[in-house]
Structure 1
Amino acid sequence: MEAEPQTKTTIPNQDETETESTEFVKNQKRYQELISTFPHEKGWRPKDPFIEYGGHWWLQPLLEGCLHAQEFFQARPKDFFVCSYPKTGTTWLKALTFAIANRSRFDDSSNPLLKRNPHEFVPYIEIDFPFFPEVDVLNDKGNTLFSTHIPHASLPDSIIKSGCKMVYIWRDPKDTFISMWTFLHKEKSELGPLNNLEESFDMFCRGLSGYGPYLDHVLAYWKAYQENPDQILFLKYETMRADPLPYVKKLAEFMGYGFTAEEEEKGVAEKVVSLCSFETLKNLEANKGEKEREDRAAVYANSAYFRKGKVGDWANYLTPEMAARIDGIMEEKFKDTGLLEHGK
């Protein structure tokens, strides 16, 4: 990338007395004018270019949302953030954090996760916050759960300065790519057809993907975790899938909602694991067919978030040569960082 990587952009302050619902619309033109000056590259769809900002590639609406969050989102010390790159276990982690934080409010049959998609309870600060400020969860001052795919260096200053905690999850890049490529086929898009697998994979390997380069995204959060392990919990999808219970307990403890001895005796942690399992969530009526989330318009049906959830499904799509290419890039990128050994 030839441009100097920006991480934060100073945008002139606006009248903060206006409601949040009009704030983004009022500022959107300003964001668009700024974004038009950033480097653009061909995207995975003909009419959906990637835009360089902060050393990462963005799609236009998400970058507009990021700039808005940088300017207006105010994190509080008690807030908790689910951070991730797309298609690395975000939906699962949202369900787990919601179930952990709210387990005293609901019994086994009344948990809202049984009726609605996990994304409705843990809002994205670069999507829900700017574009859908009317959703209930954002207007619930008692809500402390938020999520983002924003790279670490471009997070709103308030998240870093507030000292609030965050959890980050990452996944084998081969499965991450396949999950993303198949997911994008389910998008209700008027931006043209998706590139074929080979072309998309080549771009992914070269860092050209939404919020990419993927490995840089992971590495920045890893470095932040190493510098401040009390503020960031770092998880690996494959390790959690193999044995979720100890990691769910660790997550609960980290969030400040550790399971009590009485809860341990009653198997409450095991119930959280079961409720939030891929199999349970995928088979709920709310996540089947063409059903969409209840709280706002969506470009994906709820079922799009529950494809297979398997480790190693990439082998059904990628050639050995393709796998070797991305593995080599990962080994080189993560060499001497300790990241490949973490969670083994």
Structure 2
Amino acid sequence: MAFANHEQANEENDLTLSLPKESGLGAAPYLHLFQDFWCPSYYVQGVNNFQKHFHAKDSDVFVASFPKSGTTWLKALAFVIVNHQRFSSFDHHPLLSSNPHQLVPFPEFILSHDLHDKILSLSNMSEPRVLGTHLPFPSLPESITKSNCKIIYICRNPFDTFVSAWEFFTKMKLVSSPALTFEEAFEKYCNGIMGFGPWWSHMLGYWKESITRPDKILFLKYEDLKEDTAFHVKRIVEFLDSPITQGGDSNAVIENIINVCGFEKMKDLEVNKSGDIDNIAEKKNFFRKGKIGDWINYFSPSMMEKLSKIIEEKLSGSGLSFKVHS
């Protein structure tokens, strides 16, 4: 067994070493170009294991996102909605004592090591399982794309996404790559070099699939969810065929869901003020500002002009667009 583990470690090392690498914003010293996206070095093997060994169930719900696009909030909402009958009391809800990332794990992260044990723990999760992923649509395991499981995707205005990523990844505990200035990181981002990027192909992959298969993928924008939370939470509830819609007090339940998953509410919980997730990211760093338009405090006019042009060029003709709040 030890020999097999050693052999597997060598294979993993060979795979990572064979890939082009760059420094950029992400949860690792380097990003590797793997299957046409930039994968943090820690997770190349996890992605590989996820694709080869994960078996989706028709009842699974996946929260998919590009990093720093509202993932934590959507994980909380999805977990509460899916588990509404199991945890009907909002006074003693698991979300009050656990971080959303602990309740809704990323398989590509946890399958990076201890493969057998982690596959077992995923298999033993209560159903319906709520799981997260940052993988682009083409890199999802076939069992996800071909099963009847559902995917809720969230994206965010690329200006705010970059600022949130910059603030988050520069505070990571384990990142020891060459430090990038804000301007250097921005140039990389404009070239698509960020963990799980390019951001435009990530968004477009799920966007196009959501148009083709609206019963499979619900596509959300962070800004829309923020500006009319009740409307979009109802959309999630309906998309998941949740029994919440059948009750006479569904509006009151939705209001309670919104409150328990609120940004300030989660930020103020003791469980989210200290400790970390997987020894990499401090919990408190998942709750920074949650605002729309904060990028205006960071960008120079030339940076704004450059990113605006890239957004226009990359998303042109797709039907996907963003309002720039300033």
Same fold (TM over 0.5): yes
User: For residue 292 of structure 1, what is the aligned residue in structure 2?
Assistant: 276
Q: Is the CA contact (8 Å cut-off) linking 1:80 and 1:146 kept in structure 2?
A: yes
Partner secondary structure for residue 183 of structure 1: helix
Q: 2:229 aligns with which of 244, 248, 266?
A: 244
Residue 163 (structure 2) pairs with residue 182 (structure 1): no
Displacement of 1:64 in angstroms is 1.4
CA distance in 2, matches of 1:216, 1:207: 9
User: For residue 20 of structure 2, what is the aligned residue in structure 1?
Assistant: 39
Tell me the amino acid that sits aligned with residue 91 of structure 2.
Answer: S
Using CA pairs under 8 Å that are at least 6 residues apart, name the structure with larger relative contact order, 1 or 2.
2
Residue 180 (structure 2) pairs with residue 199 (structure 1): no
In structure 2, do the counterparts of structure 1 residues 275 and 25 end up closer, same or farther at CA, with 3 Å as the change threshold? farther
Residue 106 (structure 2) pairs with residue 121 (structure 1): no
CA distance in 2, matches of 1:261, 1:233: 20
In structure 2, do the counterparts of structure 1 residues 261 and 37 end up closer, same or farther at CA, with 3 Å as the change threshold? closer
Tell me the amino acid that sits aligned with residue 109 of structure 1.
Answer: D
In structure 2, do the counterparts of structure 1 residues 257 and 30 end up closer, same or farther at CA, with 3 Å as the change threshold? same
Q: Higher mean Cα deviation, 134-143 or 262-271?
A: 134-143
Unaligned runs of 5+ in 2: none
In structure 2, do the counterparts of structure 1 residues 38 and 266 end up closer, same or farther at CA, with 3 Å as the change threshold? closer
Q: Is the CA contact (8 Å cut-off) linking 2:233 and 2:254 kept in structure 1?
A: yes
In structure 2, do the counterparts of structure 1 residues 233 and 25 end up closer, same or farther at CA, with 3 Å as the change threshold? farther
Tell me the amino acid that sits aligned with residue 72 of structure 1.
Answer: H
CA distance in 1, matches of 2:91, 2:187: 46
TM-score normalised according to structure 1 size: 0.85
> Once the two structures are aligned, what percentage of the paired residues are identical?
38
Displacement of 1:87 in angstroms is 0.3
RMSD across aligned C-alpha pairs, in angstroms? 2.4
TM-score normalised according to structure 2 size: 0.90
Partner secondary structure for residue 339 of structure 1: coil
Q: Is the CA contact (8 Å cut-off) linking 2:77 and 2:258 kept in structure 1?
A: yes
Number of aligned residue pairs: 317
Displacement of 1:121 in angstroms is 1.0
In structure 2, do the counterparts of structure 1 residues 66 and 324 end up closer, same or farther at CA, with 3 Å as the change threshold? same
Q: Is the CA contact (8 Å cut-off) linking 2:225 and 2:232 kept in structure 1?
A: yes
Displacement of 1:140 in angstroms is 2.0
User: For residue 77 of structure 2, what is the aligned residue in structure 1?
Assistant: 96
Unaligned runs of 5+ in 1: 1-17
CA distance in 1, matches of 2:39, 2:307: 21
In structure 2, do the counterparts of structure 1 residues 162 and 26 end up closer, same or farther at CA, with 3 Å as the change threshold? farther
Q: Is the CA contact (8 Å cut-off) linking 1:84 and 1:148 kept in structure 2?
A: yes
Q: 2:205 aligns with which of 202, 220, 239?
A: 220
CA distance in 2, matches of 1:257, 1:121: 19
Q: Is the CA contact (8 Å cut-off) linking 1:73 and 1:156 kept in structure 2?
A: yes
Instruction: Looking at secondary structure, tell me which structure has more helix per residue.
Output: 2
User: For residue 168 of structure 1, what is the aligned residue in structure 2?
Assistant: 153
User: For residue 245 of structure 2, what is the aligned residue in structure 1?
Assistant: 260
Displacement of 1:324 in angstroms is 1.7
Deviations 1:265-296 (A, max 9, x none): 660000001110111101111111x3235xxx
Partner secondary structure for residue 267 of structure 1: helix
CA distance in 2, matches of 1:23, 1:335: 49
Displacement of 1:162 in angstroms is 1.2
Q: Is the CA contact (8 Å cut-off) linking 1:184 and 1:194 kept in structure 2?
A: no
User: For residue 234 of structure 1, what is the aligned residue in structure 2?
Assistant: 219
Residue 126 (structure 2) pairs with residue 145 (structure 1): no
Displacement of 1:26 in angstroms is 6.6
User: For residue 304 of structure 1, what is the aligned residue in structure 2?
Assistant: 285
Residue 32 (structure 2) pairs with residue 48 (structure 1): no
Q: 1:75 aligns with which of 56, 67, 86?
A: 56
Q: 1:271 aligns with which of 222, 235, 256?
A: 256
